[in-house]
């Protein structure tokens, strides 16, 4: 059985918002058990408690909000918190977007390891998928089906591009996330950049925080971090989107060309059908070797 966890100490960082292009300061703070993940906009004095209902926009990123106050591009940080099992945390920021860092979750992994992780007394709740829940739109597909662990099977297809077709199947735990997923960067196509920026999107995007693809390959001087980095980043995004519930998950997520919008619709469909899931106080006993923990010193 797993107990809840939080940080040992606060840690600060700053960076550029991928879509706004503005500098953002952020502080990750320990929080008491059962408090969950809470975001606080210091510049607006508004707290946003993470839940599936807090998602207000899914255009090219996951945005949460409350009373008209928003925080954009939360998925990379949330993916890291879920995989490293940080259950209770108070996140303060000055600005409306989480810093993109290098476009992956690797900097967040480093920061959390630096802050340290401590186990708390309360147990973590798990959502257990009891029957398949599926959603399909415009040739895209996402589903959650029963499984004795949390795992992901993801396929992408960008025909007539350098990316082509990629697929990855992976059980998700701390080790697999850090080794196989965390370093995968966000990506985009050179031909789309002008359009996106004309619509106030990707204003902070650069070769330092994204893999840019043209008709011949990648524009970046640095090589890909994984041969199939693109599908790995889609898995990173999906983990963040599914973590919105604030629960551990026991089920298999299957996707074809899914994105933030479809992921959120899938979660809402799951929660709306009480026969499709149950919530338990972490019934899964896991092997010690599969868990990484950094104690406070």
* Sequence ranges of the chain with CATH classification 3.30.230.20: 3-124
Which residues contact residue 260 at a Cβ distance below 8 angstroms, ignoring those fewer than 6 apart?
Answer: 58, 59, 60, 61, 62, 75, 237, 241
CATH superfamily, region 126-281: lpxc deacetylase, domain 2 (3.30.1700.10)
Q: How confident is the model at residue 297 (pLDDT cuts 50, 70, 90)?
A: low
Backbone angles phi, psi at 83, to 5 degrees: -70, -35
Which residues contact residue 97 at a Cβ distance below 8 angstroms, ignoring those fewer than 6 apart?
Answer: 17, 18, 19, 20, 22, 24, 71, 72, 73
Q: How confident is the model at residue 287 (pLDDT cuts 50, 70, 90)?
A: very low
162-172: per-residue pLDDT in tens?
999 999 999 99
231-269: per-residue pLDDT in tens?
999 999 999 999 999 999 999 999 999 999 999 999 999
90-104: per-residue pLDDT in tens?
999 999 999 999 999
Q: What is the mean pLDDT of the chain?
A: 93
Catalytic residue among 19, 76, 233, 260: 260
pTM: 0.93
1-20 burial, b at 16+ Cβ within 10 Å, e below that, comes to ebebbbbbeebebebbbbbb
118-162: per-residue pLDDT in tens?
999 999 999 999 999 999 999 999 999 999 999 999 999 998 889
289 vs 297: CA distance, rounded Å: 21
Query: 78 pLDDT exceeds 50?
Result: yes
Residue carrying the six token digits 């992780």: 117
* Sequence ranges of the chain with CATH classification 3.30.1700.10: 126-281
The pair of structure tokens assigned to 212 is: 């840019």
CATH number of the domain at 3-124, please?
3.30.230.20
What pLDDT does residue 284 have?
46
What pLDDT does residue 19 have?
87
Q: How confident is the model at residue 77 (pLDDT cuts 50, 70, 90)?
A: very high
Query: 283 pLDDT exceeds 60?
Result: no
What pLDDT does residue 194 have?
77
260 catalytically annotated: yes
């Amino acid at each position: 059985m797993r107990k809840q966890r939080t940080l040992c100490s606060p840690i600060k960082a700053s960076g550029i918002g991928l879509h706004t292009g503005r500098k953002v300061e952020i502080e990750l703070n320990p929080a008491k058990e059962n408090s969950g993940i809470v975001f606080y906009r210091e510049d607006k004095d508004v707290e946003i408690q993470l839940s599936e209902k807090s998602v207000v926009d899914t255009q090219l990123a996951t945005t949460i909000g409350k009373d008209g106050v928003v925080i954009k591009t939360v998925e990379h940080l949330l993916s890291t918190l879920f995989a490293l099992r940080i259950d209770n945390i108070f996140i303060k920021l000055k600005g409306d977007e989480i810093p993109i860092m290098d476009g992956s979750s690797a900097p967040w992994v480093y920061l959390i390891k630096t802050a340290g992780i401590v186990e708390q007394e309360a147990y973590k709740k798990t959502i257990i998928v009891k029957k398949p829940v599926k959603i399909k739109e415009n040739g895209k597909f996402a589903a959650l089906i029963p499984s004795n662990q949390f795992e992901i099977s993801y396929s992408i297809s960008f025909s007539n591009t350098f990316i082509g077709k990629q697929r990855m199947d992976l059980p998700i735990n701390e080790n697999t996330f850090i080794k196989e997923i965390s370093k995968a960067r966000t990506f985009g196509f050179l031909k789309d950049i002008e359009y996106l920026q004309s619509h106030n999107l990707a204003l902070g995007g650069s070769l330092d925080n994204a893999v840019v693809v043209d008709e011949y390959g990648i524009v970046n001087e640095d090589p890909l971090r994984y041969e199939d980095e693109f599908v790995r980043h889609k898995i990173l995004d999906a983990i963040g989107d599914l973590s919105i519930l604030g629960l551990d998950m026991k089920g298999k997520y299957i996707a074809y060309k899914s994105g933030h919008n479809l992921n959120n619709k899938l979660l809402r469909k799951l929660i709306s059908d009480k026969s499709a899931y149950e919530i338990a106080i972490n019934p899964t006993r896991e092997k010690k070797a599969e868990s990484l923990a950094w104690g406070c010193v």
